[in-house]
Amino acid sequence: MILTIDQWSLGYEQILRDCRTSTPIGTVLLLVSPATDSLCAAKIITHMLRSDEIPYTLTQCYNYHQLDYQLEHLEESIKSVICLNCGGGRSLLDKIPEDSKVFILDSHRP
């Protein structure tokens, strides 16, 4: 599903809901490309997650090999994955575990 700018809050609300309703509380994995805009977005999102008391893990993602590895080896506590400027160039459906959701925010896409 593609969310328009006015629907982004729905995606964040879904992340909060998924993490808060799991026992123990779910974790968010942030996969971040090493671009300046990605790092700035990661700073904003991590601040939001800390404010909402949602645990997260932040990992740099340089290429699709790393992205595939991270998605294939998700810990059970990871309920949501946020990809910042990575993952938008191809389908990841076969890599996503059934009980996790992946949100891709990619400014490199047209």
DSSP-derived letter for residue 28 is E
Half-sphere exposure of 83 (CA within 13 A, CB side): 26
Residue-wise pLDDT for 60-77, tens only, equals: 998 888 888 888 888 888
Helix (H, G, I), strand (E, B) or coil at 103: strand
The predicted model gives 34-41 an average pLDDT of 92
Q: How confident is the model at residue 109 (pLDDT cuts 50, 70, 90)?
A: low
Q: Where do the domains of the chain lie, and which CATH numbers do they carry? A: 8-105 (3.40.50.10860)
Q: How confident is the model at residue 1 (pLDDT cuts 50, 70, 90)?
A: low
8 A C-beta contact, residue 79 and residue 22 = yes
Strands (E), 1-110: 27-32, 56-60, 78-84, 101-105
Determine whether 7 is exposed, middle or buried from the number of CB atoms within 10 Å of its CB (0-12, 13-18, 19+). exposed
